[in-house]
Amino acid sequence: EFSLNELHPGGFKHFRQSLRIVDFLENNGRGLNLTWEVRNGIVKHSKGYGDILPEGSPELAATLEGQLVRVADIIAYVNHDLDDALRAEMVHPGDLPAHLRRVLGDRSSQRINAMVSDLVQTTLHRDDGRLHLSAGMNETITELRAFLYDNVYRNYQVHAEFEKAQRIIRDLYAFFLEHEFPANGLASCCRLREPPADGETDRRRHRRVCDFIAGMTDRYALALYTQIFMPKPWSVL
């Protein structure tokens, strides 16, 4: 997201791209006939480093379903990222502050259960037509996110991998501004672009390249980068 935001003249935000996919790219470019409520939930699901469920904020989805997606997203990613960091031994169980372990438990299942149970119980207790976390759980999740930012996301090893990934995105972006997209996933089919006969503007070309790269999986981007930029070893028959 960071790299595409720098490269594309109009900037790039993943929640806007999500809406663009369902409005313009799906169904062979005709888009999907989604309700306003679903589209609102898509564009409001992202919370960045801000409040989880900000009261009275236009950033919050209008429906309970949309609000639930927002909370489920953060519950999933903080637990998944913590599990990954523990497996990679970037952090150790004892590194997590003791008061967070007391509230959330020591296992992933315990942490998820604590967060979900608090969401359900607090929402039922408030009973005002929107989702709520208790003040204590909101503070706990916020502190857990801060722990991940300080010890995982900003870790020098992770940062080094981010820089590699950004280089891949930049190189692919520059390449496809000048070359056709691969046919059947084969980079060998990426010919130089012909001068646009249909009046394709530079802005439209950037938009198409941005859409193409934004839709790649990590594995596909790595494989494509290898095909395009890495030399193939000689084979001896």
Q: What is the mean pLDDT of the chain?
A: 89
Is the pLDDT at 21 greater than 70? The verdict is: yes
Give me the pLDDT at residue 155, please: 86
Q: Which residue has the higher pLDDT, 184 or 163?
A: 163
Full DSSP string of 169-235 = HHHHHHHHHHBPPPBTTBGGG-PBPPPPSS---HHHHHHHHHHHHHT--HHHHHHHHHHHHSPPPP-
**Once rounded to an integer, what is the mean pLDDT over residues 18-23?**
94
Residue 199 has pLDDT above 60, yes or no: no
User: Residues 202-213: pLDDT tens digits?
Assistant: 889 999 999 999
- According to DSSP, residue 52 is labeled S
Structure confidence by residue, pLDDT tens digits, 124-150: 999 998 999 999 999 999 999 999 999
Say what the pLDDT of residue 148 is. 95
CA distance 168 to 166: 5
Higher pLDDT, 229 or 197: 229
DSSP-assigned letter for residue 104: H
194-198 average pLDDT score: 59
pTM of the model: 0.81
Residues of the chain with pLDDT > 90, as a percent, come to 68
Q: Say what the pLDDT of residue 4 is.
A: 95
**pLDDT attached to residue 237:** 54
Amino acid, single-letter form, for residue 138: N
Q: What number is the average pLDDT over the span 26-42? A: 94
**CB-based contacts of 159, cutoff 8 Å, min separation 6:** none
pLDDT tens digits along 67-97: 999 999 999 999 999 999 999 999 999 999 9
Burial zone of 133 (CB within 10 Å; 0-12 exposed, 13-18 middle, 19+ buried): buried
Per-residue pLDDT tens over the stretch 155-178: 888 889 999 999 999 999 999 998
